[in-house]
Chain A
């Protein structure tokens, strides 16, 4: 019985290969987008873990806040019995973002230090002479040659990191004899002398863990996850539609089977089995697709994470078996969610209910009312989340509720508009057009909801990115006011530089140091008392005479993210190494995840005597910039690579910016594509069911071509209405992104700008998408043999 029943059920798909393909593809797409995003996140997380464990995952380390240790400090501790290993860190220039260099001592490195195990196999090459830089193959490829030491690709090293002997690293980074931190061997002898008594300024701390890195980049990953989820939801609309229709069309079969004695439980089980098989097939396809998506997007994501957060991630994807499993799980889960309603109906199907696929497509006013009610509830939830909730999660709840509410309200809104259209129609064909469009609405509404989601997301994200870009570029202009930026090799060259300029050209010191601000990692910069800052620095708020107070050494300027995070306003105090300072002002500092403070050069020198003071911004008339650059190279002997002009610096900043949003853009396009696919499949599915509606009109004297034109128009009209509805939703979304999510995720609030040109383009694009999606069914209709239409009048369909 089971075999025969299953055969009868499955035969449906043989007769409806298009529907089957829709189902599989929809499910595969849902799985693909979701798993793709998850794969990217997983890859990044594993990179963080690898980076955190690059030194054996040491439990503790010694640091000297605000300064470095010397080799002698290390020897002192070792000779006192402390099993410590020195680490010196810095950055190496590389293609598509810098690479973090870890200088280590392979002989004392804690167990589990992968790089040390490799290094020790060729000790002579690694420790002496030019040394070696070890890196995972993709990182090694980015480093290329010309690093001052040969780069050796080694499988299994933490991606995005480079390793060299500490002596070699000292030379490469220009910091010979320095040690940033000393990691402790997990096994220590007890009863040793207190280390802080042996080496001044020494503090013991837990090193950065994978969680620390993950926390910093959490907002970014949450963004990706939200997008993945959105795409998943959009694609599930397709699946839901396909499954619902297939079940409805098979009601006759269900009824017959049950009449023939198949228990309803067994029927449901068989259907579950069928769905499981479909989910597994689609899941496999989806995971494969997801891999491709992830592999295509990861290079940009990695570049963003490196550029924006200094995280060490490479653009190559490694697949974990767990990830495959999760892909299948999400496919099965998605199928379950999409099919739950249909299955429930089957379980409660009265034996004599007639098959009414058209009724299914038409839906009912009740459904619409229910949708409207859920929409209201979700809207209220969004309002509550927006008003009361703080934090990123509340922000995303707000976003999700908002989008879903809008999607659920869409059919009712469209129905209203179409009724209005019908009221104003005068000609019979027009009347029929409006009435028929309205009747088709429920069948298309899932696809239209998907389109609404995709379009709103597009408008919202587009507005956010464009607002950000506009603000960012303006801000760059303010921030990069100097014409030339010079980085001298050492103090001696810096002195020679100032000597050469001799006051003829203003040199603004740009001295910075990594330091704890309000107890969290941040950076402190010096800022000269100069009109450049007074006139152009992008201040959001300031005390009167703020710059004077900074110049007097009694105050500091802080960046927006620090002010928001700690709830600081001008006039408050900010805790800095060497004592708190009054906050003179708050400035915007986009693209920087760290807290930052500006102090006067005098204050800087006193508080950070060891910091490098070799970087300067030079104010020079733009036409003299080239001459000055030549003079600095030829007369002061500064390497041309150490002089950057404003334009080049801006170009680099813009590049980082564009990369940051490249992924968002790509996902945006994908989501839109999925929505387009949803429309196409819905139209195709409906095309067959529409014949009984179209055949009488044809018989009454309309050509097939004309009918096809009307069908095309109908799709375009619905898309147009949906796009119009998407506009306010998208703008609301943009506002949430700019005013809620960005503040929570990055710590800065951006002004919102409107881009009607973008909307027009998107509007045109969605019309085009709908027209393209409708074109195929319409063409099929136009070319349909008359016999197909005639059959309508002769057979029960």
Chain B
């Protein structure tokens, strides 16, 4: 497996936003590599650019310079449709909130991406629901679920297509500490089981310790 075939590789990535007082450099030359089965916890102060890095890794945005490679493919070289295909087939994202499609029930939400990617495995999905304690909620709609339940659905959905890369942006940020810990444990366990790479953004060093590796983002560079 060469470096370019890694699930995720960032090479000297820079990203600058237009702020109200002129350009706002957020990332200035960030490089990282994440192999299959590896977990990396990304910490940093609020506003340090963690989410931005994750969005770049997900192909939701493109870098100003440098390269974001997913399974060796440079997302900057792809068009909107190409990036959408990568999101559909190669990776899965769990956000802090609003992960779910309000018009679909839990089962449909969980199966959705897997079916889009053409990799729907009902047994695996059922097992995920089982493992995440969602078996009883399958016919419910997102709006009636609690925050913890919603995040568990989001995790199930992310893992349902067996993606090579899971990106999670403070997946437990909206939950209380106990619930957050339980959800995160489940996620780490299931990611390991699926042999997926995981980039976990968090500002809690307590949570970061559970990951295989840690990186700290500060002033636009990784430490």
Select one of A438, A696, A698, A786 contacting B100, CB under 8 A. Answer: A696
Contact indicator per residue, chain A 398-437, by CB within 8 Å of chain B (1) or not (0): 0000000000000000000000000000011101100110
- A:689-707 near B, CB below 8 Å: 692-693, 695-706
Distance in angstroms from B103 CB to nearest chain A CB is: 4
Assuming the A-B contacts A692-B98, A705-B80, A793-B95, are A700 and B103 also in contact, with contact meaning beta carbons closer than 8 angstroms in the complex? no
On chain B, the residues within 8 Å of A431 by CB distance are 104, 108
Contact A436 B87 (CB under 8 A): no
B81 within 8 A of A: yes
Assuming the A-B contacts A701-B117, A703-B81, are A432 and B104 also in contact, with contact meaning beta carbons closer than 8 angstroms in the complex? yes
Distance in angstroms from A321 CB to nearest chain B CB is: 52
B60 within 8 A of A: yes
On chain B, the residues within 8 Å of A700 by CB distance are 87-88, 93, 112-113, 116
B55 within 8 A of A: yes
Distance in angstroms from B202 CB to nearest chain A CB is: 15
On chain B, the residues within 8 Å of A435 by CB distance are 103-104, 108
User: In whole angstroms, how far apart are the Cα atoms of A427 and B95 in the complex?
Assistant: 25
Nearest B residue to A705 via CB reads B80
B217 within 8 A of A: no
On chain B, the residues within 8 Å of A703 by CB distance are 80-81, 84
Assuming the A-B contacts A695-B98, A703-B81, are A428 and B112 also in contact, with contact meaning beta carbons closer than 8 angstroms in the complex? yes
Distance in angstroms from B96 CB to nearest chain A CB is: 6
- B:103-156 near A, CB below 8 Å: 103-104, 108, 111-113, 115-117
- B:159-176 near A, CB below 8 Å: 169
A794 within 8 A of B: yes
Distance in angstroms from A797 CB to nearest chain B CB is: 8
On chain A, the residues within 8 Å of B169 by CB distance are 793
A564 within 8 A of B: no
- B:40-63 near A, CB below 8 Å: 51, 55, 58, 60-61
Assuming the A-B contacts A432-B101, A696-B99, A790-B60, are A704 and B115 also in contact, with contact meaning beta carbons closer than 8 angstroms in the complex? no
Contact B116 A428 (CB under 8 A): yes
Contact A793 B99 (CB under 8 A): yes
A70 within 8 A of B: no
User: In whole angstroms, how far apart are the Cα atoms of A699 and B61 in the complex?
Assistant: 11
- A:701-734 near B, CB below 8 Å: 701-706
A541 within 8 A of B: no
Distance in angstroms from B45 CB to nearest chain A CB is: 16
User: In whole angstroms, how far apart are the Cα atoms of A704 and B101 in the complex?
Assistant: 16
Contact A428 B102 (CB under 8 A): no
Contact B84 A702 (CB under 8 A): yes
On chain A, the residues within 8 Å of B88 by CB distance are 700-702
A549 within 8 A of B: no
- A:772-797 near B, CB below 8 Å: 786-787, 789-790, 792-794, 796
Contact B55 A790 (CB under 8 A): yes
User: In whole angstroms, how far apart are the Cα atoms of A705 and B55 in the complex?
Assistant: 19
Contact B60 A429 (CB under 8 A): no
A185 within 8 A of B: no
Distance in angstroms from B114 CB to nearest chain A CB is: 8
Nearest A residue to B102 via CB reads A693
Contact A701 B87 (CB under 8 A): yes
Assuming the A-B contacts A692-B102, A793-B97, are A428 and B115 also in contact, with contact meaning beta carbons closer than 8 angstroms in the complex? yes
B71 within 8 A of A: no
Contact B80 A704 (CB under 8 A): yes
On chain A, the residues within 8 Å of B81 by CB distance are 703, 705
Contact A792 B98 (CB under 8 A): yes
Assuming the A-B contacts A701-B84, A701-B117, are A696 and B98 also in contact, with contact meaning beta carbons closer than 8 angstroms in the complex? yes
B85 within 8 A of A: yes
Nearest B residue to A701 via CB reads B88
Assuming the A-B contacts A699-B87, A700-B112, A701-B87, are A432 and B96 also in contact, with contact meaning beta carbons closer than 8 angstroms in the complex? no
Distance in angstroms from A687 CB to nearest chain B CB is: 15
On chain A, the residues within 8 Å of B95 by CB distance are 699, 793-794
Distance in angstroms from A580 CB to nearest chain B CB is: 74
User: In whole angstroms, how far apart are the Cα atoms of A700 and B115 in the complex?
Assistant: 11
A358 within 8 A of B: yes
A371 within 8 A of B: no
On chain A, the residues within 8 Å of B61 by CB distance are 786-787, 790
A439 within 8 A of B: yes
User: In whole angstroms, how far apart are the Cα atoms of A695 and B85 in the complex?
Assistant: 16
User: In whole angstroms, how far apart are the Cα atoms of A14 and B83 in the complex?
Assistant: 37
User: In whole angstroms, how far apart are the Cα atoms of A790 and B86 in the complex?
Assistant: 17
User: In whole angstroms, how far apart are the Cα atoms of A700 and B87 in the complex?
Assistant: 6
User: In whole angstroms, how far apart are the Cα atoms of A698 and B59 in the complex?
Assistant: 11
Contact B98 A793 (CB under 8 A): yes
Assuming the A-B contacts A701-B88, A793-B95, A793-B99, are A432 and B80 also in contact, with contact meaning beta carbons closer than 8 angstroms in the complex? no
Contact B101 A693 (CB under 8 A): yes
On chain B, the residues within 8 Å of A796 by CB distance are 97
Contact B99 A436 (CB under 8 A): no
User: In whole angstroms, how far apart are the Cα atoms of A704 and B79 in the complex?
Assistant: 12
On chain A, the residues within 8 Å of B111 by CB distance are 428
Nearest B residue to A431 via CB reads B108
On chain B, the residues within 8 Å of A427 by CB distance are 115
On chain B, the residues within 8 Å of A693 by CB distance are 101-103
Contact indicator per residue, chain A 344-386, by CB within 8 Å of chain B (1) or not (0): 0000000000000010000000000000000000000000000
Nearest B residue to A691 via CB reads B98
Nearest A residue to B174 via CB reads A796
Contact B103 A438 (CB under 8 A): yes
User: In whole angstroms, how far apart are the Cα atoms of A705 and B169 in the complex?
Assistant: 26
User: In whole angstroms, how far apart are the Cα atoms of A793 and B151 in the complex?
Assistant: 12
On chain B, the residues within 8 Å of A699 by CB distance are 58, 60, 87, 93, 95
Distance in angstroms from B151 CB to nearest chain A CB is: 12
User: In whole angstroms, how far apart are the Cα atoms of A692 and B85 in the complex?
Assistant: 21
Contact B101 A697 (CB under 8 A): yes
User: In whole angstroms, how far apart are the Cα atoms of A439 and B113 in the complex?
Assistant: 20
Distance in angstroms from B75 CB to nearest chain A CB is: 12
Assuming the A-B contacts A428-B116, A703-B80, A790-B55, are A696 and B89 also in contact, with contact meaning beta carbons closer than 8 angstroms in the complex? no
Distance in angstroms from B152 CB to nearest chain A CB is: 15
On chain A, the residues within 8 Å of B80 by CB distance are 703-705
Distance in angstroms from B27 CB to nearest chain A CB is: 15
Nearest B residue to A702 via CB reads B84
Distance in angstroms from A588 CB to nearest chain B CB is: 57
User: In whole angstroms, how far apart are the Cα atoms of A383 and B168 in the complex?
Assistant: 61
Nearest A residue to B88 via CB reads A701
User: In whole angstroms, how far apart are the Cα atoms of A786 and B85 in the complex?
Assistant: 16
Distance in angstroms from B1 CB to nearest chain A CB is: 24
Contact B96 A794 (CB under 8 A): yes
Among B80, B86, B88, which residue has the most Cβ atoms of chain A within 10 A? Answer: B80
Assuming the A-B contacts A703-B81, A793-B169, A794-B96, are A439 and B102 also in contact, with contact meaning beta carbons closer than 8 angstroms in the complex? yes
Contact A794 B51 (CB under 8 A): yes
A selection of 20 A-B contacts at a CB cut-off of 8 Å is A358-B102, A427-B115, A428-B112, A429-B116, A439-B102, A696-B98, A696-B101, A697-B101, A699-B87, A700-B93, A701-B88, A701-B89, A701-B117, A702-B88, A705-B81, A786-B61, A789-B60, A790-B55, A792-B98, A793-B99
Question: With contacts A428-B116, A701-B87 known, what are 14 further pairs, Cβ within 8 A?
Answer: A432-B108, A436-B103, A439-B103, A693-B101, A693-B102, A695-B98, A696-B98, A700-B87, A700-B113, A701-B89, A705-B80, A789-B60, A793-B97, A793-B169
What residues make up the interface of B, taking CB atoms closer than 8 Å to A? 51, 55, 58, 60-61, 80-81, 84-89, 93, 95-104, 108, 111-113, 115-117, 169
Closest 8 A-B residue pairs measured CB to CB?
A701-B88, A428-B115, A793-B95, A701-B87, A436-B103, A439-B103, A435-B103, A703-B84
